[in-house]
Amino acid sequence: MQLYNTLSAKEREKLIEEAGKERLTISFYKYAQIGNPKIFRNHLFVHWDTLEVLGRIYVAKEGINAQLSVPADNFEAFKAHLDSISFLNNVRLNIAIEQDNKSFLKLKIKVRHKIVADGLNDGTFDVTKKGVHVDAKKFNELIEDPQSIVVDMRNHYESEIGHFERAITPDVDTFRDSLDIIEEQLAAHKEDKKLVMYCTGGIRCEKASAYYKHKGFKNVYQLEGGIIEYTRQVRDEGLENKFKGKNFVFDHRRGERISEDVIAQCHQCGQPCDTHVNCANEACHLLFIQCENCAQAMDECCSDSCKEIHALPFEEQKKLRKGKHASNKIFKKGRSEVLKFKKQSQYPT
């Protein structure tokens, strides 16, 4: 029985082009008690592979977190399969605002310790005791409420290109970093303020809302469905859009434009830009913001040294990469000192 990918990304991309089918990019999550995540993972792979589902899915004892792509004509069969699983029956599906048939090119379902890494080791913390879910209309009202503190539960490279008005945007690299920082900063307001949180699709702020209630915050709210669902409701209901810029997404698109505002800057020259790219040097692959002019001048690389390597013949590049691991640079996500403008902004001389 096949329980893993047999095609490369390039092979899958070619098949998608040849099929000519429209695909839907979807995300969903659900906190639940899963007794045997490995068996559940295999069950999903067998069924979803036949439906040509592609994506990145994490399964753990605490639930499931999924970002995926499915052919539009297989959507009903996919939804029927979800509904056949008791804790996923009628689960909210966030359908991407901007569609891309190549948002995912492989089906990867991985068993993890947790679906959202939080660094917590507290047996008394119950992730299901979450805060109050609010829709886009109520969220807009809370943003305007002077008794509200609006917190972005995403990482620095996400909020850099887009965030809500009045939001606190912690300068953190990971979700686990933000939990203690936010609690410490807002400790004096556990009883007198409304703590209002948001993230991309809801999964991080749902765990955070339960955590802060556990830590004694009395009035905790979260944007249901995150920025993705907020944008859909704003458009469908004619509400005022209070999100400025792009919403960072974790697929090949890297971002969905929510408003025309460009609030970020190219990390190499400082011009207004909110386009995330990966360095073209495969040995680096650093995620950063690059404008079209710098992309042309730098051959889509983050530095002169990477540009020189990228210009070498492919086989020579492979030899240079052999035995080396670049994840320490990848996870800096825009913090590398080789980024000229970003370095000046972060490390002024």
Sign of CA dihedral 104, 105, 111, 112: negative
Residue with tokens 């399964």: 59
Indicate which residue of 199, 205, 279, 291 is catalytic: 199
How far is residue 153's CA from residue 109's CA, in Å, rounded to a whole number?
Answer: 24
Question: CA dihedral defined by 336, 341, 347, 349, rounded to 10 degrees?
Answer: 140
Name the residue ranges covered by the structural domains of the chain.
9-111, 132-227, 276-346
**104, two tokens:** 């995912």
- pLDDT of amino acid 2: 58
Q: Answer whether 96's CB lies under 8 Å from 227's CB.
A: no
**CA distance to 128, 147, 236, 317, per residue, from 177 (Å):** 21, 25, 35, 35
Architecture (CATH level 2) of domain 132-227 = 3-Layer(aba) Sandwich (3.40)
The pTM for the full model equals 0.80
Q: Which long-range contacts (CB under 8 A, 24 or more apart) does 89-94 make?
A: 91/28, 91/30, 92/28, 92/224, 92/225, 92/229, 93/26, 93/27, 93/28, 94/26, 94/27, 94/28, 94/201, 94/202, 94/225, 94/226, 94/228, 94/229
For residue 150, give the amino acid letter: V
Residues whose CB is less than 8 angstroms from the CB of residue 312 and which lie 6 or more positions away in sequence, other chains included: 320
State yes or no: is 199 an active-site residue: yes
How far is residue 41's CA from residue 174's CA, in Å, rounded to a whole number?
Answer: 25
| 3-state secondary structure at position 298 | coil
How far is residue 37's CA from residue 5's CA, in Å, rounded to a whole number?
Answer: 19
User: For residues 262-301, b (16+ Cβ closer than 10 Å) or e, as one string?
Assistant: bebbbbbeeeebbbbbbbbbbbbebbbbbbeebbeebebb
**CA distance to 67, 73, 101, 331, per residue, from 104 (Å):** 9, 17, 8, 20
How far is residue 135's CA from residue 106's CA, in Å, rounded to a whole number?
Answer: 33
**189, two tokens:** 């307001």
Nearest to 209 by CA among 246, 188, 183, 232: 183
pLDDT digit of tens for each residue in the chain (349 aa)? 556 666 777 777 777 877 778 999 999 999 988 999 999 999 999 999 999 999 999 999 999 999 999 999 999 999 999 999 999 999 999 888 777 788 888 899 999 999 988 888 777 788 888 999 999 999 999 999 999 999 999 999 999 999 999 999 999 988 988 998 999 999 999 999 999 999 999 999 999 999 999 999 999 999 999 999 999 999 999 999 999 999 998 888 889 999 999 999 999 999 999 999 999 998 888 999 999 999 999 999 999 999 999 999 988 888 887 766 555 444 567 778 888 787 555 533 3
Q: Which CATH class is domain 9-111?
A: alpha beta
